[in-house]
Structure 1
Amino acid sequence: MSRLTIIAAIAVSYYVFAILLNSVGTVILQSITSFDVSKPQASTLEGFKDLSIAIVSFAVASYIPRVGYKIAMLCGLALVALLCAVTPTVGSFWIIKLLFASIGTAFALVKVSVYAIIGQLSSTTKAHSSLMNTIEGIFMLGVLSGYWIFSAFIDPNDASSLSWLNVYYLLGAMVLVTLVLVLFAPIDKPSPGDTELPASRAFLDMLKLAYQPLVLIFVVSIFLYVLIEQGIGSWLPTFNREVLGLPVSVSIQITSIFAVALAVGRLLAGVILARVNWYPFLNVCLLGMAVIMLLSLPLAEKVDETQIINWTDAPLAAFLVPLIGLMMAPIYPVINSVMLSALPKGQHAPMTGLIVVFSALGGTTGSIITGYVFDAMGGQQAFYLSLIPIAAILVSLFFFRRACGALSATSAHKVS
């Protein structure tokens, strides 16, 4: 029962942060309209979110085991609850920036803690991969919910209205409920082996991890993956609005197909990976991503938005482009699981710090590049750029598998 309570606590935490983090695409669209900011200016919201994740993860990931995973999560949740309560009252673009900075800071604490807790709850690689995919699948269900929650607060008759900011009162209440659940969850304190090193030594050990060839290839892979996911996910509502000509509310709601595809893909991956090897599976996923983009983007043409009232009026591309999420969904949790399973549990927290840092840098880079290309050349060209990092991931995964194989062979030789 205590194990289920812990899983519930980390799952709900991930669910709430999924809504907050992935609302950035919706907020970018609304900020362009409500606060009259340019696309490059709006794209900085991704930076406030992701760079705060990167900085906090890099600075404190190795210290979190010393403080305790529960305390770290509670601090992050309390910070976000406070900013959610303040944001609608201020109603300005600068408070939105501060809100996303606080969300990023809190998620850094939560993600490092959650990944370490998953390690505590898993005794085998398969169990770890299964629980990881389940938690990441729940994260995507939160992303799906977020699009509908935000669209419910948008005034369809006045897109520039600030009434949509009232959504943060609801989200703040959800964060407080999550805080209470985490407070009463029997989360174990880190083992003595995780905290017996001096704080400075623990930080240096995290830096040393990045110099290992396997880890270098791994962080390049996750950087490229998140660059694609955030570049598409953050700008898909704006793509729907400006390229496909959908109304604002429909643009946001139809983006939920992307979240559904990601959630289904990750939940199915947990089943498929119990039967097949991860490497050929991910190669098929990457090739599928490229095929979907090459088939769907030529169909994306500007239409007369006065003809579009609801989903049934939307062009075919509005439904095809988000399906890339089905193919990309398993990549991130699988390579994370493979990497973490290859390390001693005492290194999971610092390794997660590196994961969060490079994920954040990839997300910011992807969103900003997409925003500038979108502004200069249009949405179709911006999305076509995703083909470059898709090809690069195919290459990086080849070397990642070879490095994993070399590590396994070395470990087997030492045991014998």
Structure 2
Amino acid sequence: MLIALVIVFVGCLGMHFANSFWAAKMMFLSVGVSFALIKLSVYSLVGVVTDTPRQHSSLMSSIEGVFMVGIATAYFLFPAFYSETDVNAWLEVYLVLCGLIALSFLFLIFSNVQIPVQTAGADWKDDIKNSLSLLVIPLVLVFIGSAFFFVMIEQGIMTWLPRFNEKVFLFSETLSVQMASLLAISLAVGRFIAGWLSKKYHGLLL
């Protein structure tokens, strides 16, 4: 997680100071790599801090809900830096993001999370072999495919929605972005409710 934060921190600085197409590409690359590292790390940590399948499911849904709250916040954070007199004013938001990333980095550095070391089967070659063996299980393949298409559709709609609001509903540029937050907020509420239900009702699969 610390490595991921450093990567996206550099990407944000590059986007702010370079303000070019190649910097935007590097920004997207850094976000993608960091997102993968953070997600793998967080999901692995969930198994350490939870004891039962219900707790695991509930915490996972809550984490996804917090993630959507972050996305919804971005829909208000970026427009807050828009300026009619300075077309590059919105780039200042990346300095704010760098500050938030630095705070997250310090929070992780000083967090005292005790992770038990598993000695049995600690060989990384065996771990990779066992992980790859899961790919032959049909249910795992269905899950991977479903997760991929769900994220692709979700992110595709959320990325396109501000432009849709501007061109179809004729909202202003700022309002178009802010109104797109309704989808993220709805998803966040749904995931928080799913986390609460999966913890409260035994056997409920969400």
TM-score of the superposed pair, with normalisation by structure 1: 0.47
- Once the two structures are superposed, residues 252-297 of structure 1 have per-residue CA deviations (whole angstroms, 9 ceiling, x without a partner) of 0111111111111111112233338646xxxxxxxxxxxxxxxxxx
Distance (Å, rounded) in 2 between the aligned partners of 1:146 and 1:253: 9
2:93 aligned partner: 167
Q: Aligned Cα RMSD in Å?
A: 2.0
The residue number in structure 1 matching 2:177 is: 252
In terms of mean alpha carbon deviation, does 79-88 or 258-267 score higher?
79-88
| 1:13-32 pair list within 5 angstroms | none
Match for residue 196 of structure 1?
122
Partner of 2:3: 75
Quick one: which of 100, 109, 121 aligns to 2:49?
121
Match of 1:99 in 2: 27
Q: Report the AA paired with residue 142 of structure 2.
A: I
Which aligned pairs between 1:356-375 and structure 2 lie closer than 5 A? Answer: none
SS of corresponding position for 1:188: coil
Equivalent residues in 2 for 1:14-413, closer than 5 Å: 73-155=1-83, 157=84, 161-189=87-115, 191-193=117-119, 196-197=122-123, 199-273=124-198, 274-275=200-201, 278=204, 334=206
Query: CA distance change for structure 1 residues 195 and 253 in 2, over 3 Å: closer, same or farther?
Result: farther
Q: Indicate the SS of the match to 1:210.
A: helix
Q: For residues 90 and 134 of structure 2, what CA distance do their matches in structure 1 show?
A: 43
In structure 1, distance between residues paired with 2:136 and 2:82: 47
Partners of 1:215 and 1:260 in 2: CA distance: 29
Unmatched 5+ residue regions in structure 2?
none
In structure 2, distance between residues paired with 1:114 and 1:85 = 25
Residues 195 and 86 (structure 1), Cα distance of their counterparts in 2 relative to 1, 3 Å cut? farther
- Aligned equivalents of 1:210, 1:168: Cα separation in 2: 39
Contact 2:197 2:204 in 1 (8 A): no
Give the deviation of 1:103 after TM superposition: 1.4
Contact 2:8/2:30 (8 A) holds in 1: yes
Q: Normalising to structure 2: TM-score of the pair? A: 0.91
1:124-149: CA deviations, max 9, x gaps?
11111111122111111111111110
**Stretches of structure 1 lacking an aligned partner (at least 5 in a row):** 1-72, 280-333, 335-416
Distance 1:250 1:278 in 2: 39
1:128-172 Cα deviation digits (max 9, x unpaired) = 1111122111111111111110010112x26x8122111100000
Inter-partner Cα distance in structure 1 for 2:120 and 2:109: 22
Looking at structure 1, the residues matched to 127 and 30 of structure 2 have their Cα atoms a distance apart, in angstroms, of 25
Identity of aligned residues (%): 37
Kindly indicate whether structure 1 or structure 2 has the higher relative contact order, using CA contacts under 8 Å at least 6 residues apart. Answer: 2
CA distance in 1, matches of 2:119, 2:16: 45
Structure 1 residue matching 2:112: 3-state secondary structure: coil
CA shift in 2, pair 1:249/1:141, >3 Å: same
Q: Distance in 1 between matches of 2:3 and 2:149?
A: 30
| 1:276 to 1:192, Cα distance in 2 relative to 1, 3 A | closer
Where 1:191 maps in the other structure, the secondary structure is coil
Count residues with an aligned counterpart.
205
Structure 1 residue identity aligned to 2:196: V
Deviation at 1:88, TM superposition (A): 1.3
Q: Distance in 1 between matches of 2:197 and 2:174?
A: 35
